[in-house]
Amino acid sequence: MPSNQPLSGYTIVEIGHSVAAPYTGLILANLGATVIKVENPGAGDHARGWGPPFFDEAGPHFVAMNRNKRSAAIDLADDTQREALRRLILEEADGVICNLRAGVADQFGVGPASLLEENPALVYCEIGAFGSGGPMSHKPGYDPLMQAYGGMMSITGESAERPPIRVGVSIIDMGAGLWGAVGMLSALLERERTGLGGLVETSLFETALAWTTVPVTRALMKGGPQQPQGSGAAGIVPYQAFRTQDGWLVIGAGNDKLFAKLAGALDLPELAGDERFRTNRGRVQNKDALIPVLEARALAHTNASLGALLDAHGVPNAPVQTIEQVVDDPQTQALGMIQAGPEGSMPTVGLPLRFDGKRTAYHSAAPRLGAHTGDVLDNPAGEEDRA
């Protein structure tokens, strides 16, 4: 196999839905593992219906998160089908990903305790809502709930007086999926040394806490509550979007040297020598005096002219682009991040990884519900599908 498929030969069973577990499965599948997605024979993964738009009867979440996988429709309440799944896991799988509600997998005999007892070499990744242990451990959870409960919404938006704002992507779900993949890869590597697998645990709430590590540290330092910063960042000034004549441009003068370059670019050299603004500490403390001056200069430019001026002076900057603009952007195209896939599939975003210059392959579209049920139970690794 090519070097960009390091997990070729591994088989992973994904008993999950929505975003978190499917994202773990997506990462492993794109790294070359055979990922068997177990779905309810009725509606399948909830994300199939999250639309419009729809492609091949599936919404954007499902199309994006489930390429390179095989779908097996298995009713866990059916004794025969459940036993077939157990045999598949115990005899063929290297790992299991599960994000069912707490206790459900155990109820159906596909939880970590029973499976690991029978196959200690198995790596079982459990992605929970509020985590294992504690008073909230049995409550369900979704991305916006965790952005709220984990404090992220309190620091996101324009001001504390405005309604709470959710980050526009499922950052908690996808983050938990990413941690699930990191944990599974670590456990599989350890298994090479010891021969033993084990239980890998992560959760949406723990991921929310991990993403807010800097604001949490600020709170532990008794720095006072972090307020929403709009497009800016607490503790760094100027580090935000500025309106121009035809859009918005983010300026990232993240240190004192860059601020001096910014002042020179905007023909405001006196700002760099002003004791109020000479250091980042001073700029943060005197933000209300500094930002209006910079805003006025930005409004004298278009995005293109201001960007070119800042580029010439070595000041980091970027226009605020729409998703459609990002898709067509020359840098996006040059990197090959949006992959076309096989004929008849919908292009999707690849993994942000390359091995020896090669991005991981897009070899099969997100599967139709139960498309591989029979094949999976007879041929879990799906060799004929990779031919």
Position 46 scores a pLDDT of 93
Provide the 10 A C-beta neighbour count for residue 40: 16
- Terminal-residue alpha carbon distance, the chain: 12
Q: Are 170 and 19 in contact (CB under 8 A)?
A: yes
CA distance linking residue 61 with residue 145, whole number of Å:
18
Position 197 scores a pLDDT of 97
What is the band of 367 on the pLDDT scale with cuts at 50, 70, 90? very high
Domains of the chain: residue spans and CATH: 11-211+328-386 (3.40.50.10540), 239-319 (3.30.1540.10)
Q: Report CA torsion sign: 271, 276, 279, 282.
A: negative
Position 385 scores a pLDDT of 45
Q: Which two tokens stand for residue 14?
A: 């994904």
Where in the sequence numbering do the catalytic residues fall?
173
Provide the 10 A C-beta neighbour count for residue 23: 27
Which residues does 171 contact at the CB level (< 8 Å), separation at least 6? 143, 147, 152, 211
Mean pLDDT computed over 320-347: 94
* DSSP assignments along 241-267, one per residue: EEE-SSSEEEEE--SHHHHHHHHHHTT
What is the band of 383 on the pLDDT scale with cuts at 50, 70, 90? low
What is the band of 301 on the pLDDT scale with cuts at 50, 70, 90? very high
What is the band of 387 on the pLDDT scale with cuts at 50, 70, 90? very low
The helix/strand/coil state of 62 is: helix
Percent of the chain whose predicted confidence (pLDDT) is above 90: 88
Long-range contacts formed by 159-165: CB under 8 A, 24+ apart: 159/227, 159/228, 159/230, 160/227, 160/228, 162/228, 165/228
What is the band of 3 on the pLDDT scale with cuts at 50, 70, 90? low
Which residues does 125 contact at the CB level (< 8 Å), separation at least 6? 24, 95, 96, 97, 98, 180, 183, 184, 187, 200, 201, 202
Bond from prior residue into 238 cis (ω within 30 degrees of 0): yes
Q: Give residue-wise pLDDT tens across range 32-69.
A: 999 999 999 988 999 999 999 999 999 999 999 999 99
CA distance linking residue 33 with residue 200, whole number of Å:
18
CA distance linking residue 124 with residue 111, whole number of Å:
9
Mean pLDDT computed over 228-233: 89
CA distance linking residue 141 with residue 205, whole number of Å:
9
CA distance linking residue 172 with residue 18, whole number of Å:
12
What is the band of 1 on the pLDDT scale with cuts at 50, 70, 90? very low
Tell me which H or E stretch contains 183.
helix 171-194
22-26, 64-68, 169-173, 356-360: least confident range: 356-360
In whole numbers, what is the pLDDT of the chain averaged over residues? 93
Question: Which is more confident, 21 or 384?
Answer: 21
Which residues does 41 contact at the CB level (< 8 Å), separation at least 6? 73, 74, 75, 369, 370
Residue 32 region by backbone torsions, left for phi larger than 0, else alpha for psi between -120 and 50, else beta: left
Backbone angles phi, psi at 354, to 5 degrees: -135, 145
Mean pLDDT computed over 236-245: 97
Q: Are 85 and 158 in contact (CB under 8 A)?
A: no
Position 375 scores a pLDDT of 85
Backbone angles phi, psi at 249, to 5 degrees: -130, 130
CA distances from 295 to 34, 241, 306 (A): 52, 9, 12
What is the band of 286 on the pLDDT scale with cuts at 50, 70, 90? very high
Beta pairing partners, 127? 202
Percent of the chain whose predicted confidence (pLDDT) is above 70: 97
* DSSP assignments along 75-108, one per residue: -TTSHHHHHHHHHHHHHH-SEEEE-PSTTHHHHT
Position 4 scores a pLDDT of 83
Position 159 scores a pLDDT of 84
131-140, 177-186, 201-210, 242-251: least confident range: 131-140
